[in-house]
């Protein structure tokens, strides 16, 4: 839950619900510098929420399978039992 406690990380997860994306695309979508996006991606990856694949010079990030299975695709809601994250209701 600590990894999801930061608004930028929630926005990153929301973008990755739609599918894997390279860092450059995430930066453009969020209007955030590559340094900041990489920092947040590292936190999410260390928490086991993301997987990364290296393709040449690019890193492609995707939701970890175990994490994505907990998200109801039809509602973009993560139910942890103690709380719920509604990714479709986050501010842009």
pLDDT digits (tens, 9 = 90+) for 26-85: 999 999 999 999 999 999 999 999 999 999 999 999 999 988 877 765 667 776 666 777
Closest CA to 61 of 91, 24, 30: 24
Q: Residue 75 and residue 40: Cα distance in Å, rounded?
A: 24
Q: Residue 34 and residue 37: Cα distance in Å, rounded?
A: 5
- In tens, the pLDDT along 11-29 reads 899 899 889 999 999 999 9
Domain limits of the chain? 2-86
HSE on the CB side for 16, CA within 13 Å? 29
Beta strand 71-72 pairing with 58-63: unpaired
Q: Which CATH architecture has domain 2-86?
A: Orthogonal Bundle (1.10)
């Amino acid at each position: 839950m600590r990894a999801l406690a930061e608004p930028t990380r929630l926005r990153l997860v929301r973008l990755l619900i739609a599918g894997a994306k390279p860092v450059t695309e995430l930066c453009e979508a969020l209007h955030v510098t590559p340094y900041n996006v990489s920092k947040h991606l590292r936190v999410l990856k260390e928490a086991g929420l993301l997987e990364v694949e290296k393709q040449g010079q690019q890193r492609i990030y995707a939701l970890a399978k175990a994490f994505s299975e907990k998200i109801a695709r039809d509602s973009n809601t993560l139910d942890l039992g103690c709380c719920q994250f509604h990714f479709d209701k986050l501010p842009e």
